[in-house]
Structure 1
Amino acid sequence: MIPSGEVEVLRPLFAAVVVAASAASAPAGAAPAADPGAADQVRAVTTLVRGMTLEQKVGQLFVTYVHGQSADEAHPGNLRDFGVATPAEVVARHQPGGVVYFNNSSYDNIDTPRQIAALSNGLQAASRIPLAVSTDQEMGLVTRIGPPATQFPGNMALGAGRSARDAERAARTTARELRAMGVNQNFAPDADVNSNPANPVIGVRSYSSDPALAAELTAAQVRGYQQHPLSPHAVSATAKHFPGHGDTAEDSHTSLPVVDRTVEQWRALDAPPFEAAIAAGVDSIMTAHIRVPGIDPSGEPATLSKPAIDLLREDLGYDGVVITDSLAMAGVRQLHPDAEIPVLALKAGVDQLLMPMNLGEAIGSVVAAVRAGELTEQRIDRSVLRVLRMKLLRGVLTSPPTSPARVDSTVGAAAHLATAREITDRTVTAVRNDAGVLPLATRPTAPLVTGWGETATRTLASTLGGTALPTGTAPTEAQVATAVRAAGAADLVVVLTNALSRQPAQRALLTALLATGTPVVAVAVQNPYDVAHTDAPTWLATYASGTVAMASLARVITGEVRPSGKLPVAVPGPRPYPFGHGLGW
C-alpha cells in the first residue's frame, strides 16, 4: 500500500489537472472556478492508488504488445510470450498500465477501424484500471493505421509546408480518429532534428534540420494531439526520441548509435523541440537508445542514463511521463540482461517501460528490486502517479467504451480527407526545373510512371491515367531496358526515387530515361537528398510515398496545384541546395 504521507505527492502532481480542467470549462474571459468534477476525479485517483498493491503499481509502469486482432482471440504468440491465450487474458493476468498496437506480422493488431475499436473496448473491459492504449501514428513513413483512416504525408512534408497551423490541424484530425478507435496515446510527434543526411532511422520522420522550425512544428502538433484537458477527441502526445536521434548514422533497432555532442551543442541543436514540447504541455517524452558521451561518459544508452534523464527533469524542468523506446530493441540490450533493464531505467528516472522482452519477468524484477531495497516504493509511487495523472488529464480514467457509430462517422470523414488534401498540396517542393518541363502545357495522354515503390508507382500512374512500371530499389539491366522501351511510347516519364544517392542502379535508370528524349520528371518520394546526385533537369520532392502524397504530386505535375514547399533540410552533394530552397511558377 502507498504510505499515507506519500499521498501528498498527489497534490503537486494533480493540481495542474484541476486548474486546467477548470480553465477549459470557464467562459471566455472569465476566471476559472473550481471544477467539482475534476476534484472528484483527483480524489478517486488518490483512493485508487492507496488501494493498490506493489505488484499492481509496478504493472502500471509497463506498456506491452499483445498478439491478435480481438480481445478474445486465442493466439499462439500470447501463449509463447505470456503463458495465456488471448489479449484480454494478458491484460487480466499482468495488469499493465498500457498496450501498444502494431500492424506487422509479429503482432498483427490492426485491420479495420471498427475492429480496432472493438479490440480497445475488449482490452479496457479486462483491465482493473483503464489502459493507456497507444500506437505509432506519426504519419508518413511510420503509420500503423492506414486507410480508411485519414492519411497525412508526415513530418518532413509538414516542414516543407512551413505552417504551424497545418501541423496542428493534421495532429488534431489524427487525434480525433485515434480516439474514436479507442487509442488514447500516440507515440508522436518525432521531435528529432535530422542534422545527419545519412541517418538511417529518422530522416523524413523529422520536421527539419533546423532546430527552430522543428521546435515550432513539434509544439503545434502537441497542441493538436492533446487539444484541451479532458477532451473526448484528444490523445496524449509523445515527443521522441530524447535527447535527440537526429545525428546518428546507425539504427538503434539493430545497434547502439553514438552521438558526438557536447552538452552545449545539444542545447543548441537537439534540445529546442523538446523544450517547445514541454512548453506546450506534452504528456509524455520517449527516450532514445543512443549513447551521448558528452552527456554521460559511462557508455549507457540515454534510456538507462541518469545524467541524460536529469537533463530532461532538471535542466528542462519536465515533470511529465518519461517512456522508454521499445525495450526489445538492440540499442538498449547490449550491456545488461533483459531482467535488469527495467530496474535500471527506473533508477535513471523513467516512468513507463515499453515492450520488455518478457513482461512477467520484467514486472517481477522491479518488484524484487523494491523488496530488496534497490528501489524504494516511493520511487515507484511517483511514476505511477505521473502515469495516472496523464490518464486523468486525457479523460482515460472516466471514458466510456468507444462506439461503432462514432468510428464510422469520424474515421476517414470527408472533412478530414479534405483537410489532408489541402495540407499535402502545400508540401510538394519543386527543387529543379532547368528544362522548363513544368508546368505542363497540356495534360499528358500517355504518361509512364516508373522507379521505386510498387504501390507508389501504381497509385501515381492510376491518378495520371498512365502506365506503371515499378523497378524497385535496385533496377536490373533488364528492367532499365524495359523502361527505356516503354518511354519511347510515352509523352511524359515520371521516375520515383528513394535513397538514390546510395543506389547506383536507380541513377542508371534515370540516366537511361533522360537519354530517350521523352520529358522526364524525377521525384524524391522519401528523403530529399536524392536531388543532389544526378543531373536530371527536373526534380520534385514529396517526402512521402502514400496515396495522399501521390495525389498531390499528380496535381502539381498536371498544373492543377502550384508547388509551394520549401526544403526543410539542407541538401549536400555534387549539386547541393540550401535550406529553404524551393521553386514556384
Structure 2
Amino acid sequence: MNGPEGERPVDRTPHRHRGLRPRRSRRGVVLGGLGLLGAGALGSAAAWAGTRLTGSGGDVASEATGSPVAQRSSAASSGPSGTDEPETSTDTGTDTGDTAADADTLTSWGPTLGEVEQARALVAEMSAAALAGQVIVGRFASPDPTVPAALVRDLGLAGVCVTPDSVTDGEQVRALTAAVEAAVRETRPDVPAVIGVDEEGGSVSHLSGVATTFPAFATAGVAVTASGGAGRRAVREAARWTGTELRGLGFTWVFAPVADVTVGAADVTIGTRSPSSDPEVAATAVTSAVRGYERAGIVSTPKHFPGHGSATVDSHESLPVITSSLEDLRARDLVPFEAAVAAGAPAIMVGHLDVTALETEGLPTSLAPEAYAYLREELGFEGVAITDSLGMGAVMATPGSAVKALAAGADLLLMPADTSATHDNLRRAILDGRVPRERAEEAATRVVALQLWQARAAAATPVPEDVTVRTQQAAADLSTAAYG
C-alpha cells in the first residue's frame, strides 16, 4: 500500500540477504551484482547494468511504470510517481536459452538498457585520453565562461563543478553552464555534460544569491517527524523544485542530498547538513529527496558514503578515522544509503573516511576497493559512484589518488586539485595497465549512460516560466511542515 506521499515503503533488507533473488526497484526488476562488460548484445548490457535476464523460459525484467523515469520512457504509460507497483512481463528465450532484452527496459538507477548499450558503444571507441577525460569533473575558479569551457574542450572532460568563486549572478551562471555544455558537445557530440553544484540548502548553498534559499537539510528530518506524510511530501517537493530551478540555470547534477547520520556535537563537519541523528528519519528524508530530484530530471548524489556524521575530524583538512564496528555502521550510518539505493539513487558520493570496519590499511574509503565492493555487493548499488572532491586534505597527501580511486571502483572523479595533471596521470595509467582499460570503460559507460538518462528526463520535464515562484513556495512549505 502506498503512503500518503504516493510512495511505497522502502525495502531496507540488506542486499546480502537477497542472494540471487530478483529484487524490485522503482524502475524494474533486477538481480544484484554487476557483470563485466562483454558482448554488445542487450542481454549482456542487462547483466552489467543491473537488469539480468534468466535462461530459457525465464522472466524478462521490465520497467516500472510507476516511476517518473518509466513515464518518460517511450514504452511507459503516464501517471503520478510511485502510484503503481512495478509491472513485469514474461518472454521466453530461444531454443539455446538466450533471451532478448527490450532496449526500453529500465535499470535500477535510471538509464534504459538501450542507453547503457549506446553508452558502451560510444565508450568502446574512446582513446585512453578520452576515457580519462570522461571520468573527471574538473576544478576551476573563475566567473569567466571561457575558462571552464577551455578546460573541458582541451581535456575532453565529462564536465565541471561550479563553486562560489565562479558565481556572480543568474545571467552569468547561465552563460557559464551553456559554455560548458557547448564545449562538451564539441568534443563528444553524443554525450551530455556533467555540470554539478553543491546546493544542499543551509550553509552549503554555492549559488547563494542566485538560486532560491532553502533551510539546512536538518529541516527535512524535522518535517518528516513532525508532519508525517505531509512532511515527506514537502521534502520531495522541495527537492523537485530546487532541482528544476537548478536545471533552469543549466545544471545537470546536484551534489545532494546529504545522507549522513549526525552524532551531534562531536560531529564537526556535517551538523545541520544531516537530516537527523535518527537513522530511520534520515533514511525517510533521503528517500523523499531522491525521488523529488528524479522528478526534476536532475542527477542527485546522496553523500558521503559510508557516512560522515560520526567523524570527529573534518575531511576537508585531514583523514577522519571511524572505528565503529560493521554492526554499528549497519544500524546507523548505512541505513540512509540503503534507503537511497532502494529509492533508485542514480549516483552516490563516496567520502574520504578511514573506516576500519571496511578497510584495514588506513586508506580513505574513496580509494579503497573494499568500500566500493560493499556499496555494490552488499547494498546492491548499480549506478555511478563519484568521489568526494579529490582536492580535500584527507586525500591530498596520497600520491596518485585519482588513479587509485578509479582502479578501486570509482566511476567519476570530482574536482582533483590539478585537473590537467590528473588527466595526464589517468591517461598514462590506462595505457600502462595500472587502471585496466576494462575498468575505465566500465566507469565511463556508467557516466555516459546516466547523462543520456538525464538528458532524456530533462527533455520530458520542461522548466516552467514560474519556476522561481514555485521553488520559493516549496521552500516555504518545507519550513511550515517542519515548524508550523
Q: TM-score, normalised by structure 2?
A: 0.75
Match of 1:412 in 2: 468
For 1:242, what is the secondary structure of its paired residue?
coil
- Go from structure 1 to structure 2 and tell me whether the alpha carbon gap of 1:99 and 1:280 turns closer, same or farther (over 3 Å shift): same
Higher relative contact order (CA 8 A, sep 6+): 2
What per-residue deviation string (whole Å, max 9, x for no partner) do you get for residues 12-56 of structure 1? 455869946555431457969967796775564344223221211
2:178 counterpart (111, 114, 121): 121
Q: Distance in 2 between matches of 1:263 and 1:121?
A: 44
The answer on 1:185 being equivalent to 2:253 is yes
Alpha-carbon distance between aligned partners in 2 of 1:194 and 1:217, rounded to the nearest angstrom: 14
Task: Give the equivalent residue in structure 1 for 2:342.
Answer: 279
1:109 and 2:166 matched? yes
Aligned pairs for 1:111-510 within 5 A: 111-127=168-184, 128-129=187-188, 130-162=192-224, 163-227=231-295, 233-334=296-397, 336-337=398-399, 340-395=400-455, 409-413=465-469, 415-428=470-483
Query: What's the offset of the Cα at 1:6?
Result: 5.3
The 3 A distance-change label for structure 1 pair 40 and 373 is closer
Task: Summarize the Cα distance change of 1:267–1:5 in structure 2 as closer, same or farther, 3 Å threshold.
Answer: closer
Q: Specify every segment of 5 or more residues in structure 2 that has no aligned partner in the other structure, as ranges.
A: 1-35, 52-60, 90-101, 106-111, 225-230
In 1, Cα distance between equivalents of 2:436 and 2:40 = 15
Q: Structure 1 residues 59 and 361 mapped into 2: Cα distance closer, same or farther (>3 Å)?
A: same
Identity of aligned residues (%): 32
Aligned-partner SS, 1:357: coil
* Residue 427 of structure 1: how far off its partner (Å): 2.6
Q: How far does the alpha carbon of each residue in 1:177-222 deviate from its partner, in whole angstroms, 9 at most, with x for none? A: 0111110111000000001422111000001110000001101100
Residue 91 of structure 1 is matched in structure 2 by 152
Return the letter of the residue paired with 2:291: R
- Measure the CA separation in 2 of the matches of 1:283 and 1:61: 16
**Cα distance 1:5–1:286, how it changes in 2: closer, same or farther (>3 A)?**
closer
> Relative to 1, partners in 2 of residues 1:363 and 1:177: Cα closer, same or farther, differing over 3 Å?
same
Unaligned stretches of 5+ in structure 1? 73-85, 228-232, 429-563, 565-585
Which one-letter code corresponds to 2:172 in the other structure?
Answer: Q
- Distance change >3 Å, CA 357–CA 397, structure 1 → 2: farther
- How much has 1:254 moved relative to structure 2? 0.6
How far did residue 225 of structure 1 move? 0.6
Give the match for residue 26 of structure 1: 77
Q: 1:374 to 1:156 in 2, by over 3 A?
A: same
Q: Which amino acid aligns with 2:126?
A: M
What is the aligned length? 397
Task: Write the distance in 2 (CA, Å) between the matches of 1:426 and 1:121.
Answer: 36
1:91-126 Cα distance to aligned partner (Å, 9 max, x none): 1100111210011xxxx2222223222211111111
Aligned to 2:321, the other structure's residue is in SS state coil
SS of structure 2 residue aligned to 1:138:
strand
Mapped to 2, the partners of 1:13 and 1:109 lie a distance apart of 38
Partner-residue secondary structure (3-state), 2:308: coil
CA change 1:426–1:43 in 2 (3 A) is closer
Residues 1:124 and 1:148: Cα distance change in structure 2 (over 3 Å) = closer
Supply the distance in 2 between the matched residues of 1:152 and 1:370 (Cα, whole angstroms).
42
Deviation for aligned residue 1:240:
0.5
The RMSD of aligned alpha carbons is 2.8
Whether the aligned pair in 1 keeps the contact of 2:219 and 2:478 (CA below 8 Å) is: no
CA contact (8 A) 1:22 1:35 kept: no
Letter in 2 for 1:412: T
CA 1:208 to 1:12, structure 2 compared with 1: closer, same or farther past 3 Å? same
Q: Flag the 1:68–1:223 CA change in 2: closer, same or farther, 3 A.
A: same
The structure that has the greater radius of gyration is 1
The 8 Å contact of residues 286 and 324 in structure 1, kept in 2 or not, is answered as: yes
TM-score normalized with structure 1 length = 0.63
Please tell me the residue identity of whatever aligns with 1:169: E
SS of 1:240's equivalent in the other structure is coil
Relative distance call for 1:353 and 1:35 in structure 2 (3 A) is: closer
- 2:19 is matched with none
Residue 259 of structure 1: how far off its partner (Å) = 1.2
Say if 1:120 and 1:396 are closer, same or farther in 2 by CA, change over 3 A. farther
For 1:295 and 1:35, locate their aligned partners in 2 and report how far apart those are by CA, in whole Å.
Answer: 37
> Letter of the aligned partner of 2:223 in structure 1?
G
Q: Which residue of 1 aligns with 2:142?
A: 68
> Residues 35 and 303 of structure 1: is their aligned pair in 2 closer, same or farther, counting only changes over 3 Å?
closer
Q: Secondary structure at the match of 2:195?
A: strand
Matched, 1:52 2:87: no
The alignment partner of 2:423 has SS state of helix
SS class of match (1:176): helix
Separation in structure 2 between the aligned mates of residue 393 and residue 241 of structure 1, nearest angstrom: 23
Determine if contact 1:22/1:32 at 8 Å carries over to the other structure.
no
Q: Answer whether contact 1:23 1:31 (CA < 8 A) is retained.
A: no
Residue 161 of structure 2 aligns with which residue? 100
